[in-house]
Amino acid sequence: MSGALKKTTGITGLAVAQNPHKALGVLYSKILRTLEKMPESAAYRKHTEAIIKERAAILQTTPVVQEAEKKINCGQIEEVIIQAQNELTLARKMLTWRAWEPLIKEPPSNQWAWPPAQPVEQR
């Protein structure tokens, strides 16, 4: 199912995944279940859900790991697994933070201006 097994990732400290399709399938399911707890209108949910569903579809239709890596185009499958682990952690934090809710108070009008406005010197 995973094609020829590689001996190394070539990345120090990153072992070859023994069953990457299964590992990613489990992670993607957990991410999607976490995202389902957020409002459908939440930007983080919409964009993350689209990426995860696209990658899950690639894995379902591409049994050869090297081909899946090329289609996902985010590094070796082991790196994609780490990305998914990190995304799951972030999704759970976003659920706690409730980042989609309105701000308690309005932000400063120039919050996103760059470069920041310089204070006018007093003469």
Q: What is the pLDDT of residues 26-40, one digit of tens each?
A: 999 999 999 999 999
Q: What confidence score (pLDDT) does residue 1 get?
A: 43
Q: Which residue has the higher pLDDT, 20 or 122?
A: 20
Q: How confident is the model at residue 112 (pLDDT cuts 50, 70, 90)?
A: confident
pLDDT band at 63 (very low <50, low <70, confident <90, very high): very high
Q: Does the pTM of the predicted model rise above 0.95?
A: no
Band of pLDDT at residue 120, cut at 50, 70 and 90: low
Q: Structural domain boundaries of the chain?
A: 20-97
The residue to which tokens 């070859």 are assigned: 16
DSSP the chain: ---SPPS--SSTT-PPPSSHHHHHHHHHHHHHHHHTTS-TT-HHHHHHHHHHHHHHHHHHH--SHHHHHHHHTSS-HHHHHHHHHHHHHHHHHHHHHTTTSPPSSPPPTTTT-SSPPPPPPP-
Per-residue tokens: 116? 């920041």
- Please report the pLDDT score of residue 2 as a whole number: 45
**pLDDT tens by residue, 70-91:** 999 999 999 999 999 999 999 9
Most confident range (mean pLDDT) of 5-9, 98-102, 106-110 is: 98-102
